[in-house]
Structure 1
Amino acid sequence: MPVRRYALRRLNPYRGVTRVIELAEARAVSTDGANWELQVLTERPVGWGSLNLGRVETLYYRYGVWSAEEGVARYPMHPALERQRLHRAAERLVEALGAAPADEAEERGDRFECWLLDAAEQRPLALIAAVATAEAIPAHVSSRWCAAPGDAESLAGLGHERAEALERAVARRSGTHAWFQRMDDGSGRKVPPPASNQSGFASEGNADCRRRVVGAGATVTLGAKAFPELLLDEAWPDAETAAAVAAYVEWLAPRLLMLPLAQATRVRLERAAAAQADAVAHFFRLYPAVADTRLMNALRVQARLNQSAA
């Protein structure tokens, strides 16, 4: 298996992206592009009793962490695991991390998106979930859009009251939610959610379910412009909510820059992010492009000065 590189958005509330570098037997994940958790595929027995005799499940084992500055730090390892195999897989993963070009294009990791719809126009209003495959679409999704995590540190610069007011505005305007499969050109094909099952996910072996998700039910297609580029519609009928959304976008700018954006949008967000030099420096490695190199470099220098002063 060749090396795969893709990003998964951390949604509801949107907190940025998780970048993934994946091999056949291992993967590395990072939320800042500098510090990576190494995860290696392994097998373990399933449960107890005669019905489970000889059954195993394959899952990712948390091997350790890696950064270019500090190298590998391994977690304590269970004695029953195949140490040598895990070590070799982790070594190959670290090699892939070290060789990863910074400007290499990433795959679109979560093409299936769940959007709250505007109750009046039935158009995408706010993104609330996204998954990589049709089989991973959950049977149930909360229809409540969240502006930000509830802790005080995360809300710094936005404020609890402003976040709650924005959430209420979205709730008043929204109706149902719907899943869309996004295409390379940005358009989206509406797909029905899978039938409920015990796990809450579509069964990988259920071909009929897969056909319902990606086949006959997918009859509605919306153009790229129907989907808000910044994951929340910025056009609001009342001036007060429109101003609140604009302030929210400005506050979230250092994280929104991790998304693939039109050039004009990236220019606007980079200027908005200038007030948050520390956040820009923290997430800079995850930006897929830069519009104003001079501005971004100046903000990173300012962040280093801030750190030295602290």
Structure 2
Amino acid sequence: MSPYYGIRRLGPYLGVIQVIDVGDACAYSTNGHSWRIRQQTASGRFRWGVPHAAGTGNDPVRITNAPKLVEALERHPPVPFPIRDRYELWLLRQETRKPLALLSTRYRAEEMDAVRDPHWRAFPTTDSGFVSPTLLEREAVSSRQRHPSHRDELENMINMASRPLPAAQWFERRPDGSGIGLNGLRLVKNETGRMLSAEAFPELLVSEDWPDSNMCGLIDDYHNWCAGSLLAHQNLSVATRKRLERAACQRPTGLLAVYPLIPEILDKDAIDIALVSAKLMNAC
């Protein structure tokens, strides 16, 4: 089994991380250049070691008591690594019992934990910067003096679609995109072991199937806001990747941070212009 793989960070979504796992030590990177080290102690517990280690260039990697990790870092293949977190935890839509929003992922079956909190979160608690053009347009014609934050409105919409008793289920995704249902929370008869087609799963983070145009617009705005990180996902459709590239170019600093992890670029000229803009913005 290869020690090199990528996983998606969720709960809330924080993009894709690269992993080098040699068993008793691991290295993690969000950009493919700098690595954070985690090593196993004599007691069997893991602790964070050297904050960052260069895995490229002429500087040798210096890590104490982890020769296998040093070798793996010095010889790692180009990023991005294949994404391997095929076990996915989905919040279920109450009406259809189909996947609604992605809550978590795991690389190995034994890492799947019991579902205790099925609440979906769009961003970390301290991140309140999300702005939805759809909601701005609606607010412009509203007589209300105060409106909920766009993050809160997004989270409320998703979580309300799973209530009154939210259910969540682990699925093992197959190479063709289909998934077999595993354990979860508040599952009903025959849901454990069920097989869902690839079309039953949202391609990105949350379902884009909603009865109202404002709802659909809000979900589009959320995915567009996360577009830079979402471009690091693999096996996206061409149409989705094109749309995400256009959105990512509107927020170039976010694109610059994840650019090394993007497996495929469709409009290289547009992306290059956005990257130059991001570098200029960072230099100011």
TM range (shorter): 0.7 to 0.9
Greater fraction of residues in strand: 1
CA shift digits 1:38-95 (9 cap, x unpaired): 3344423xxxxxxxxxxxx2535523412347957868xxxxxxx5x43x34531331
Aligned length: 260
- Residues 209-228 of structure 1 deviation map (CA, whole Å, 9 limit, x = unaligned): xxxxxxx9853000111110
Q: What's the CA shift for 1:146?
A: 0.7
**Structure 2 residue 69 is matched with structure 1 residue 95:** no
Change (3 A) 1:12 1:165: same
Of the two, which has the highest radius of gyration? Answer: 1
Relative to 1, partners in 2 of residues 1:274 and 1:61: Cα closer, same or farther, differing over 3 Å?
Answer: closer
Question: How many angstroms apart in 2 are the aligned matches of 1:143 and 1:33?
Answer: 31
- Segments of structure 2 that go 5 or more residues without pairing to the other structure are 133-147
Q: Which stretch shows the higher mean deviation, 58-67 or 24-33?
A: 58-67
Q: Would you say the 8 A contact 1:3–1:96 is kept in 2?
A: no
1:107 Cα offset (Å): 4.5
Q: Residues 222-247 of structure 1, C-alpha deviation per residue, up to 9 Å, x if partnerless?
A: 01111101120012112222221121
Say which SS state the counterpart of residue 306 (structure 1) adopts.
Answer: helix
The equivalent of 1:306 in structure 2 is: 281
2:82 equivalent among 95, 106, 112:
106
Deviations 1:129-155 (A, max 9, x none): 11222222212331111111122xx33
The answer to whether residue 160 in structure 2 is matched with residue 172 in structure 1 is: yes
Query: For residue 204 of structure 2, what is the aligned residue in structure 1?
Result: 230
TM-score by length of 1: 0.75
Q: Which residue in the other structure is 1:244 paired with? A: 218
User: What is the CA–CA distance in structure 1 between the aligned matches of 2:83 and 2:213, rounded to whole Å?
Assistant: 38
Cα gap change, 1:164/1:69 in structure 2, threshold over 3 Å: closer, same or farther?
Answer: farther
Q: After superposition, where does 1:1-310 map in structure 2 within 5 Å?
A: 3-44=2-43, 57=44, 59=46, 61-67=48-54, 68=56, 71=59, 83=64, 85-86=65-66, 88-97=67-76, 100-102=77-79, 106-108=82-84, 110-151=85-126, 154-158=127-131, 161-174=149-162, 175-193=166-184, 218-260=192-234, 261-308=236-283, 310=284
By how many angstroms is 1:167 displaced? Answer: 1.0
Offset at residue 32 of structure 1 (A): 2.1
Instruction: Tell me whether 173-182 or 221-230 shows the greater mean CA deviation.
Output: 173-182
Residues in 1 aligned to 2:61 and 2:131: alpha-carbon distance in whole angstroms: 36
Kindly provide the amino acid, as one letter, of the partner of residue 155 in structure 2. Answer: E
Q: Could you tell me how far apart the structure 2 residues matched to 1:222 and 1:187 are? A: 6
SS of residue paired to 2:42: strand
Alignment CA distance shift 1:163-1:221 (3 Å): same
Unaligned 5+ runs, structure 1:
45-56, 76-82, 195-215
Tell me the C-alpha RMSD between the 2 structures.
2.6
Shift of the 33–155 alpha-carbon distance from structure 1 to 2, 3 Å rule, reads farther
Q: 1:27, 1:93 within 8 Å by CA — same for their partners in 2?
A: no
Q: Percent of counterpart pairs with the same letter? A: 31
Report the alpha carbon displacement of residue 263 of structure 1 after superposing the two structures with TM.
Answer: 1.6
For 1:253-297, what per-residue CA distance to the aligned partner results, in whole angstroms no more than 9, with x for missing partners? 111112121121101100011111111011111112222122222
Mean CA deviation greater in 159-168 or 173-182? 159-168
SS of 1:43 mapped into structure 2: coil
User: Which amino acid in the other structure matches residue 82 of structure 2?
Assistant: E
Is the partner of 1:258 in helix, strand or coil? coil
- Alpha-carbon distance between aligned partners in 1 of 2:242 and 2:168, rounded to the nearest angstrom: 31
The CA distance in 2 between the partners of 1:91 and 1:137, in whole Å, is 29
Question: SS at the partner of 2:272?
Answer: helix
Counterparts of 1:278 and 1:129, CA distance in 2: 26
Residue 193 of structure 1: how far off its partner (Å): 4.3
Deviation at 1:16, TM superposition (A): 0.4
Q: Is the 8 Å Cα contact of residues 13 and 148 (structure 1) preserved in structure 2?
A: yes
8 A contact 2:20–2:73 mirrored in 1: no
Question: Equivalent residue of 1:92, what SS?
Answer: helix
**1:50 alignment partner in structure 2:** none
Change in CA separation of 1:90 and 1:117 when aligned onto 2, cut-off 3 Å: closer
Amino acid at match of 1:188: G
Distance 1:14-1:65 versus aligned 2 partners, 3 A rule: same
Q: After TM superposition, give the deviation of residue 158 of structure 1 in Å.
A: 2.5
**In structure 2, distance between residues paired with 1:101 and 1:17:** 15
- The answer on whether the counterparts of 2:253 and 2:275 sit within 8 Å (CA) in structure 1 is yes
Q: Secondary structure at the match of 1:275?
A: coil
